[in-house]
Amino acid sequence: MNDLGMLLPILLSDVLNPVLFTFMIYAVGSKRPLITSSAMLLGHTATYLTCGVILAYTIEALSTRLANPQSIDFVIEFVIACALLWLVFRTRKDKGKRPDEQTPEFTVGKAFAFGAVVNLIGIPFAIPYFAAIDQLLKSDLDTGGVFLGLVVYNLAYALPFALIPLLTAIMGDRSKPILARINGYMEKAGDVIMPLLLLAIGLALLLDSVWYFVRGQSFF
């Protein structure tokens, strides 16, 4: 898949996870809402990008190639496709920890660290991110291009969440009911849209990997 067209639906399914959104809404209830929520997003994004670079380097080392996709890439793609389909057909009522009465008041440092921790806990289950990395590695991009692609992907991922400190800065406390409604919409949308996106992505990746081993070339 040289056109990277699969990245957009992968990104959409990745963003629809409401856990980070919920914690950022909690962060805007602190004494320094703008700085604290921004620090949490920065911690999460920096950790996501770092993990992505490490994962990309590891997959790249395993596949021992830079530009041209090899069989190992399609083996990885097949495994990811199966994992995505497993996520679709597995009932997941609990999508992660949410803030509760025991969650401590956030300082800037704690918010940054907490954003990083939330990301690290979710990395093993971030199947869409694995799929995005695999698509970047299977493209015609060189090492610098793959790194730039990861940066752009992470910035695009962070963009919707950046609305939280932005709305807080503009509207102050009046933003809280709006953010609460958005969070509710995200959870409802995630319950409907995410399985459909994951199903479509999983089937596409499965078709691409099986087609490669049957016909010797990528389907897309």
pLDDT given for residue 64 in this prediction: 53
SS3 letters for the chain? Answer: CCCCCCHHHHHHHHHCCCHHHHHHHHHCCCCCHHHHHHHHHHHHHHHHHHHHHHHHHHHHHHHCCCCCCCHHHHHHHHHHHHHHHHHHHCCCCCCCCCCCCCCCCCCHHHHHHHHHHHHHHHHHHCHHHHHHHHHHHHCCCCHHHHHHHHHHHHHHHHHHHHHHHHHHHHHHHHHHHHHHHHHHHHHHHHHHHHHHHHHHHHHHHHHHHHHHHHHCCCCC
**Mean pLDDT along residues 196-200:** 72
Mean pLDDT, the chain, rounded, equals: 76
pLDDT given for residue 66 in this prediction: 40
**pLDDT band (50, 70, 90) for residue 143:** confident
- % of the chain beyond a pLDDT of 90: 11
**Mean pLDDT along residues 149-164:** 91
pLDDT value at 62 more than 70: no
Supply the pTM of this predicted model: 0.68
**Mean pLDDT along residues 94-114:** 67
pLDDT given for residue 166 in this prediction: 87
Q: pLDDT tens digit string along 3-46? A: 567 788 888 878 876 778 878 887 877 778 888 889 999 999 99
C-alpha span between 105 and 87 (Å, rounded): 33
**Mean pLDDT along residues 86-102:** 56
CA dihedral 9, 7, 61, 217 (to 10 degrees): 90
Reference 157, options 21, 4, 6, 5; nearest CA is 21
pLDDT value at 81 more than 50: yes
**pLDDT band (50, 70, 90) for residue 152:** very high
**Mean pLDDT along residues 128-156:** 86
